[in-house]
Structure 1
Amino acid sequence: MGFSQALSGLNAAAMNLDVVGNNIANSQTVGFKGSSVQFADVYAGAQVGLGTRVAAVLQDFSDGTLETTGRNLDLAVAGTGFFRFMQGEQVVYSRNGQLIMTPEGYLENAQGARLTGFPAGVGTGGQPVPLQVPSGAMNATATTGVEASFNLDARADLIDRATVPFDPADGNSYSYANTGTAFDSLGVEHTMTMYFSKTADNTWEVRVAVDGNADAANVGELVFDSNGLLNEAASTFPTYGFTPGGGADALNFALAFDGTTQFGQDFNLDNLNQNGYTAGTLVGITFDDAGNVVGNYSNERSQVLGTIALADFRNPEGLQAAGDNVWVETATSGQPLLGLPGSGMFGSLESGVVETSNVDLTRALVDLIIAQRNYQANTQTIKVQDEVLQSAVNLR
């Protein structure tokens, strides 16, 4: 019996050494989770135990340290959640977010597994698919709305339209002018000029010209109250329309003057924004905390191309390690719960950082010494049992 007890101890100690050695070997592996061995004694109705056995090898899914790399395609989950990958036809999960972009635009790890997520605008209501960054350009968008806010000088002289007709070339036919930009359906940039003329107390005529062409129909009116605030109900906000030519559609846009005032101060532009833009080519991608893959384009615009999906499990310790720093689900782990970074129980996404191994190398070296002593003690038990048996054999 003594030999079997010692042999069981040797087998258990050898596995413990394997686990500790594997932890030490992967102390620098990004996203690696260390393991520990649980032992159980063995009894079979005897007063003296029959030795020991390995009851389980448990994985430690505590967070590793986030380490800055400065590389845009290095990602880490700050908190709960696993990256979801497609490795061939199999779905695998990992905490290693070191990615590369393939010529086809897929985001892959070093083993060729493709990162999955939700298409742009779909959210968790869709089915996760391998994320692909499109290489196509961003289409041009015509200007359909302009937001502007000014202070119009209440001290300006009145302009009588009966005697002073509007003329863009005559600065005396308007009180103030300001220039902005508008884009047609082909993404061609046009100069948009707004002319303000004080035609009565608290009343201003607003004309708009595109590329110097002022149409008599493109005239609005701003009315202010006695406190210098815009009275939108009494004002007129037409849709300004132009024919840009060159094969583009007619350019029609609305002007909003929220926040515009009339005070006894100099003319001043506070804000001017329009929603059109020219076409642009993709120059790079970034990731935000919510897991959105954001494409940045040469026209200084950006758009969401997709959202990274995260997964969590009721029992992460039940996941089965599949090598290459990934895990697969099992009946013990339960089915994956999918979500978005930064929502609910899921951690946020960090770009330019990686999660280092959660193995404490100092502690692992101490565990190695203890495992070594355990192995040596069991070999000593065998040696003593051999000496006792030899003594019994030599009895006369």
Structure 2
Amino acid sequence: MSFTQALSGLNAQQQKLGVVGNNIANSQTVGFKSSNIQFADVFANSRVGLGVRTSAVLQNFSQGNIESTSRNMDLAIAGEGFFRYQQPNGEIGYSRNGQLTMTADGRLVNAQGAQIMGYPADAEGNVQEGGNVVPMEIPPGDLPANATTELGVSLNLNSGQPVIAAAFNADNANTYNYSTNATVFDSQGNARNLTLYFTKTAANQWNVNGRLSGGPADGGTYDVALGNLTFTQNGTLQAENTNNATFNNNEFGAGNPLAALDIELSFEGTTQFASESTVNDTIQDGYTAGALVGITIEEDGTIMRNYSNEESRAAGQVTLVTFRNPEGLRPEGDNLWAATGTSGQELLGAPGAGLRGLIQPNAIETSNVDMARELVDMIVAQRAYQANSQTISTQDELLQTIINI
């Protein structure tokens, strides 16, 4: 029986050394989680135990260190959760390793070809959060041009300017007090110049006119009377006049093949004070066509497509998965785990929601292996292995003594 006890001890310490060796071997594996072995004694209706056995190998899912990298495709999870991957064979796996690359057809995959998953976005870049989770892909197409439909201008008009009674003429500077320019875009993405003319027609009233020019050779020049701005005695716009700050249905004609521009102009925040006329802010919603120049991933997992026209659109949102019992996950290799009945069902959602951590872009999570602890455990296991070997030697000497009697 002593031989059996010692043999079980040798087997147990050999497995312990295997676990320690695996931890040390993966000390530089991104997203790796160390393991620890648990032993249990063996009794079979006897007063003396029959040895030891391995009862469980537990995984340690504590947070590893987060290290910055120079790649915008490296992701780390700061907090709880796992990335959800679809493997090439269609099976689902979970990982803490967020080192991604983009294939020629726009798929976001890890080194083994598993595709990271998340919420998709529509053609306008609106993420469909809470919908079906799909493998993440980056559409390769360019961003089409968008004609300007809204223009917001906030400025100050000098209250000290004289009233002009002459009829407005854009070509005659004596018929207006102040002018400013804004860039707008037509239906084909051509940058056009919109000049706004402000003529003081009464003590607290200004007439506004616009001229669209520039662009392609056949773009033409179009003049439009836009409306009036009426100010209070304090120099602010009259709030009771709803049409005073926003001018609708301002259609600037355009030559074939360009569509007419229908621009809604807002002068909210405009003032009439005794200081130089100046523009404080200009905002418009048009842009020219743009080519895809790269992607970035935000802390909430949103994948942004960046275009050469300085516009950005969401391509989707990386999701995170949590489990009630992460220690019940089954290691699959290649930095992946699989769900089991012990781990419970996946709980999926956006990063930062509930107990899920945030995504740290341009970073990786290193292995949580504590090398000092592993080396100590290795020494202890080695000594225990030697002690069990000594037990066999001692038992052999006793048997030899009995035989020699």
**TM-score over 0.5 (shorter chain):** yes
Whether contact under 8 Å (1:124, 1:338) holds in the other structure is no
CA distance in 1, matches of 2:257, 2:222: 20
CA distance in 1, matches of 2:16, 2:403: 35
Whether contact under 8 Å (1:147, 1:255) holds in the other structure is yes
Letter in 1 for 2:74: D
Whether contact under 8 Å (2:212, 2:223) holds in the other structure is no
CA distance in 2, matches of 1:245, 1:361: 73
Structure 2 partner of 1:112: 113
Whether contact under 8 Å (1:108, 1:115) holds in the other structure is yes
Letter in 2 for 1:116: M
Deviations 1:331-377 (A, max 9, x none): 11111111111222111111111000000111111111111111111
1:215 Cα offset (Å): 3.0
1:168 Cα offset (Å): 1.1
Structure 2 partner of 1:145: 150
| Local SS of the residue matching 2:352 | coil
1:233 Cα offset (Å): 3.0
1:128 Cα offset (Å): 1.1
Runs of 4+ with >6 A deviation = none
Structure 2 partner of 1:357: 367
Letter in 2 for 1:290: D
Structure 2 partner of 1:5: 5
Whether contact under 8 Å (1:283, 1:298) holds in the other structure is yes
Whether contact under 8 Å (1:239, 1:255) holds in the other structure is no
Q: Count residues with an aligned counterpart.
A: 391
Whether contact under 8 Å (2:205, 2:228) holds in the other structure is yes
1:219 Cα offset (Å): 2.1
| Local SS of the residue matching 2:356 | coil
| Local SS of the residue matching 1:371 | helix
Structure 2 partner of 1:101: 102
> TM-score, length-normalised on structure 2?
0.94
CA distance in 2, matches of 1:177, 1:258: 17
Asked if 1:229 corresponds to 2:236, the answer is yes
Q: Decide which of 163, 176, 179 is 1:177's aligned counterpart.
A: 179
Q: Decide which of 207, 212, 223 is 1:215's aligned counterpart.
A: 223
CA distance in 1, matches of 2:306, 2:226: 37
CA distance in 2, matches of 1:189, 1:123: 33
Asked if 1:343 corresponds to 2:353, the answer is yes
Letter in 2 for 1:319: L
> In structure 2, do the counterparts of structure 1 residues 378 and 124 end up closer, same or farther at CA, with 3 Å as the change threshold?
farther
| Local SS of the residue matching 1:4 | helix
Letter in 1 for 2:378: L
CA distance in 1, matches of 2:70, 2:213: 45
Asked if 1:125 corresponds to 2:130, the answer is yes
CA distance in 1, matches of 2:167, 2:111: 71
1:277 Cα offset (Å): 0.6
Q: Decide which of 290, 293, 304 is 1:280's aligned counterpart.
A: 290
CA distance in 2, matches of 1:123, 1:23: 40
CA distance in 2, matches of 1:209, 1:345: 56
1:391 Cα offset (Å): 1.2
Whether contact under 8 Å (1:40, 1:55) holds in the other structure is yes
CA distance in 1, matches of 2:258, 2:382: 79
Whether contact under 8 Å (2:130, 2:349) holds in the other structure is no
1:142 Cα offset (Å): 1.0
Structure 2 partner of 1:195: 197
> In structure 2, do the counterparts of structure 1 residues 87 and 238 end up closer, same or farther at CA, with 3 Å as the change threshold?
closer
RMSD of the TM alignment (CA)?
1.2
Letter in 1 for 2:145: A
1:325 Cα offset (Å): 0.9
Structure 2 partner of 1:165: 167
Q: Decide which of 259, 269, 276 is 2:269's aligned counterpart.
A: 259
Letter in 1 for 2:398: V
Structure 1 partner of 2:81: 81
CA distance in 1, matches of 2:200, 2:115: 63
Structure 2 partner of 1:134: 139
For structure 1, which runs of at least 5 residues remain unmatched after alignment? Answer: none
Identity rate, percent: 51
Structure 1 partner of 2:330: 320
Asked if 1:303 corresponds to 2:313, the answer is yes
CA distance in 1, matches of 2:127, 2:143: 19
CA distance in 2, matches of 1:330, 1:67: 31
1:122 Cα offset (Å): 4.2
For structure 2, which runs of at least 5 residues remain unmatched after alignment? Answer: 215-220
Letter in 1 for 2:264: A
Q: Which moved more, 1:237-246 or 1:324-333?
A: 237-246
CA distance in 2, matches of 1:382, 1:231: 100
Asked if 1:18 corresponds to 2:26, the answer is no
CA distance in 2, matches of 1:209, 1:239: 15
Whether contact under 8 Å (1:138, 1:282) holds in the other structure is yes
Whether contact under 8 Å (2:63, 2:368) holds in the other structure is yes
1:239 Cα offset (Å): 2.4
Structure 2 partner of 1:380: 390
